[in-house]
Chain A
């Protein structure tokens, strides 16, 4: 108990020095944690946007469909699959689609593209397509042969809402079929979306055109929680073995890379901060030990064992860490919470950010686990930092230490 008391009093022997080291810890941890939160917010948004608008959590395709986009490679049991998904509590929403690859033509230009047949409400629930329509509406009327196209394609084709485009694609017999579609709406594409046109039309119209009836080529599934996705994919892969079931990380290596590199960025940031912290603490504690060489010599001369001297120095360091660490985390938590609600406006760099699929408004976020991890690492760094000064202290010879100036 007295060791604890001595350690505590030793910290306040030189209050300016202790406050400087505590202050630098607070600043370092605050800055580091906030950057981690900023990165986390930015990456999560990027992941969520890509998952929501393009990839979804799970995609199920007819076996072999992705190799040739053959209209006959439909899901083996579309009805059973959609019925199972509708009842699955883990599933937030799903969209069964028809997909054809063909030519999209306007009076101005003909280009290759993907024609996706959807149920408008189901698709909007999964990809928020309806929310992204910036002109016109998503199949606003019951009229047949409506289409929604992306802004970039609209620009290239020189068409606007109510204009017509012609789609030509193979049907299930392998014959090329064509239809004229009226542009009902134009949706905003993600700036970083993969190149290539993607247009949406009612599934029933496309089914008629392709002659596939009620069958569908793919189902995009959005789960209630990212953590259940792998299990969900595995279950459906088992249940519908004839189809190709893939979770998001198998579908998009790009997304997996973003997710994994986020962890690496965080580790690097934390490592740099902890390294700086570590040297700061080593410097301070070593100075404190060197200043007290004679006193440590006396303590060892009168009977304080080396183990206790070691603990005393360790305690002092941990005390400094336990003031600076939580305080830094508290300030960081406050900053992340505030900016997490109000956002950080980076619209000045919107163009560059959007080119990388990043939002111009970043909402930092960090879960409790993140704070706990940083706290554990700070405590560990403090202990490691204490080792060198503590080892220096116990190597002192009492006789020499007492005679030192």
Chain B
């Protein structure tokens, strides 16, 4: 970790409290975290420890009840809903546990769609889509609809989609949870390679010990708090 670099993600004392009937549940409780560009970080912890909530707060999908989130120098607390959508489009890539590709679009179109929202030129969209499909090893399956792809292939398309917008970092929520171990390893190879070759920052939540073993930094959450942070 290079201490001279500006963090791409900074959280300062963020908390997120949910109302469950008469009880207040504090899913994230005063987390301070800095992620530097190029990190390959795993958020780990038992179920209910606040991993997904923390990812949602960092990704601007949820708002903290206390504290602040700063991404690439922008304080997310200050953005309204529409500004947040635009911010996510240009700065954050998402990979979801259940792939969540748009079923009516082909693999290539799923990737291209993000660039279309960014108003990229047709030529740029085409070139980058082909490159990303190649990066994730699916250059021959661009025309296939998600239903025609295996779980592992769909998750690779999801990774390519997350990278399509040239984001500052990629958030992946349990990316290997629905994959068998061989496919999970293969997906991790792709993510690691993108991290190594292109310096893409990855932050993922996981339970999977094999994934944890490949992370270069492991942040452990317990009851919404950072229990340990090991590089």
A293 to B8 CA separation, bound complex (whole angstroms): 31
A306 to B84 CA separation, bound complex (whole angstroms): 11
| B78-96 Cβ-contact flags toward A at 8 Å (1 or 0) | 0001100110111000101
Q: Is the CB of B85 within 8 A of A2?
A: no
Could you tell me how many residues of chain B have their Cβ less than 8 Å away from some Cβ of chain A? Answer: 28
The answer to the question of A66 belonging to the interface, with a C-beta cut-off of 8 Å to chain B, is: no
Which of B88, B98, B105 is close to A302, meaning CB atoms less than 8 Å apart? B88
The answer to the question of B46 belonging to the interface, with a C-beta cut-off of 8 Å to chain A, is: no
* Known A399-B61, A402-B96; contact A303-B81, beta-carbon cutoff 8 A: no
Residues of B within 8 A of A10 (CB): 104
The answer to the question of A228 belonging to the interface, with a C-beta cut-off of 8 Å to chain B, is: no
Q: Is the CB of B86 within 8 A of A303?
A: yes
A135 to B62 CA separation, bound complex (whole angstroms): 91
The answer to the question of B149 belonging to the interface, with a C-beta cut-off of 8 Å to chain A, is: no
The answer to the question of B17 belonging to the interface, with a C-beta cut-off of 8 Å to chain A, is: no
Q: Is the CB of A303 within 8 A of B100?
A: no
| A169-196 Cβ-contact flags toward B at 8 Å (1 or 0) | 0000000000000000000000000000
Q: Is the CB of B102 within 8 A of A6?
A: yes
Q: Is the CB of A300 within 8 A of B85?
A: yes
Q: Is the CB of A294 within 8 A of B100?
A: yes
Q: Is the CB of B165 within 8 A of A303?
A: yes
Q: A-B pairs with CB below 8 Å: how many?
A: 59
| B146-161 Cβ-contact flags toward A at 8 Å (1 or 0) | 0000000000000001
Whole-angstrom distance between the Cβ of A264 and the nearest chain B Cβ? 45
The answer to the question of B109 belonging to the interface, with a C-beta cut-off of 8 Å to chain A, is: yes
Could you tell me how many residues of chain A have their Cβ less than 8 Å away from some Cβ of chain B? Answer: 20
Q: Is the CB of A306 within 8 A of B82?
A: yes
Residues of A within 8 A of B98 (CB): 294
Q: Is the CB of A6 within 8 A of B104?
A: yes
Residues of A whose CB lies within 8 Å of any CB of B are 2, 6, 9-10, 13, 294-295, 298-306, 308, 398-399, 402
Residues of B whose CB lies within 8 Å of any CB of A are 56, 59, 61-62, 81-82, 85-86, 88-90, 94, 96, 98, 100, 102-105, 109, 112-114, 116-118, 161, 165
- Nearest 4 interchain pairs by C-beta: A303-B89, A9-B104, A399-B61, A298-B100
29 A-B contact pairs sorted by A residue (CB < 8 Å) = A2-B112, A2-B113, A6-B104, A6-B105, A9-B105, A13-B103, A13-B104, A295-B102, A298-B94, A300-B85, A301-B59, A301-B61, A301-B94, A302-B88, A302-B89, A302-B94, A302-B117, A302-B165, A303-B85, A303-B88, A303-B90, A303-B165, A304-B85, A305-B82, A308-B117, A399-B56, A399-B61, A399-B62, A402-B100
